[in-house]
């Protein structure tokens, strides 16, 4: 059974929300005058890269339920799962999608 299209839409929404929340926290730290934010900005850069990989992974097919999401993808599901784990660790979220469904 393939992943439903609505599950992927919700997954991408949750990713973007996690990324946005991290950037809001970073902006608040900057606003209140915290110095030495280099590591947080580097994490934001990594999060943006992971977000792009994860979102683009599911954008390659027009009909996900018919064709599947692994068609013409550079990454396999194990690598995408690793990207998701890194994203969760950096953004302090707990987003999950069962890739084997």
Write the burial class of residue 78 (CB in 10 Å: 0-12 exposed, 13-18 middle, 19+ buried): exposed
DSSP for 12-39, written as a single string: HHHHHHHHHHHHHHHHHHHHTT----HH
Q: State which residues of the chain have pLDDT below 50.
A: none
> How many C-beta atoms lie closer than 10 Å to residue 54's C-beta?
22
The reply to whether the predicted model has a pTM over 0.85 is no
pLDDT, tens digit, 9 for 90 and up, residues 9-29 = 898 899 999 999 999 999 999
């Amino acid at each position: 059974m393939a992943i439903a299209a609505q599950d992927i839409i919700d997954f991408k929404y949750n990713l973007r929300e996690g990324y946005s929340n991290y950037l809001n926290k970073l902006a608040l730290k900057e606003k209140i005058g915290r110095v030495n934010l280099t590591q947080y900005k580097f994490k934001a850069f990594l999060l943006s890269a992971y977000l792009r990989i994860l979102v683009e992974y599911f954008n390659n097919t027009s009909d996900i339920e018919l064709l599947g999401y692994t068609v013409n993808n550079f990454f396999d599901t194990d690598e995408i799962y690793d990207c998701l784990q890194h994203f969760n660790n950096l953004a302090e979220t707990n987003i999950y999608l069962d890739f084997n469904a």
